[in-house]
Structure 1
């Protein structure tokens, strides 16, 4: 069974994104290369758990993190489940595999002061790129959308009449997120500069490069990192940290966890609960400061 059939299955039946499918096939190719090097074979379908365990050991020896190894093995497991479905194998060699232990990954959000510093002082809006960059940061913080969701936004997804945007999330699931007034103002400013570009190749897309093409994920990351690496001391300054900040700050202000789950496009509440540790920390500060028994 070729990887092409597997890729088509993930894209068409499971409706995974192209980025996700590429990651899955890359992991499986990595295992194929291991088999070729150590067992003179590239037939992933005809191996047992012992060969997979050897692969895992080599990954550990290369100092690859347990989290990354678990992701690679998960990709392989998904492939074996597909081969079971197509009756190309009878037994999944990973059926009894237990994932490697990983520590809880706590990612600190940007503070409200850091957001204020960037949005109100770090960006001087005077041309297309500065207007675009300001809107991108403001939209991330105001809506909590994912980087790929922002990249794929179309002009038709913006509904200024109802102050909301339509977002196409994972598995092509649609959700609507309300817009705050400042976004509408920044949007008008950006669209004014956008309309003056010499050429626009991707006319339906909201965010463009200065050459008129759809913006790409690496550029979005560089934009966020550029401004926040100056305003913040955090080691990681990424679009995901802005999404994290959106959720955490809403929780700190008393927003309902289920409502935040819907805004983020999570399918389960468990995925949203990762943000609660920061909210609890904030509550502890408030409690310590305000409780009568603590007043001295």
Structure 2
């Protein structure tokens, strides 16, 4: 496993929407997030088919209270190559994110264009979408927000996903050059996120020992993700009241081993500043590969 180290910052766009003027200013909140306390039990997650139930997790998980800082004041300075997450302003023509055809026809080209713009990639492949709802997600055929400190790909599963998606000759050519897996996470509701926001660990504070390989078991295959092992040095951030005009980019894999951030950690959490009866979060996470020549 390769250490996550410092890299030169990349330029950030200036079209990020400012926080809601009516929202209460907050520097940080304290909340509990589920980490692995240690590796005494091998972590394994069993994922049922969408709409069939909730995941079952093996592992010595414990809730740890962390301080999660408001990232909006530093949004323009965040870099995928340093922190492994960033905020971008992103208008969309999508009217209904629950319409799979509209996702294919409108959202996927928007995402491809955005990733090209933000990274300079020569080719972008949009390959997966997950709708998450905090209100009866399973019953409605979706997934619930993930309350586990994790990263979606590992040193092994990142390249394997490329092989799964591309023809063998193209996969071999792409794997010989730099490629990056980036998740696009956004609010699909018409109101700012009030429930179960997503928190992100600054990759500069992640040590190699903090990333534990976890088997991800489905009915037809087994993959791998990283689960975070608790480290008091982790620096947490979030974007309060994320709007429909914003998107968060999360780098979950980078093939380059030159000192830039390669992996990330993130988790949903309960924001203590949420209103007494918060609107249930509705979000989409879209997975992409950015390939470079």
Q: TM-score scaled to structure 2, two decimals?
A: 0.21
- Which structure has more strand as a fraction of its residues? 2
- Which structure has more helix as a fraction of its residues? 1
The structure, 1 or 2, with the larger RCO (C-alpha pairs under 8 Å, 6+ apart) is 2
Larger CA Rg, structure 1 vs 2: 1
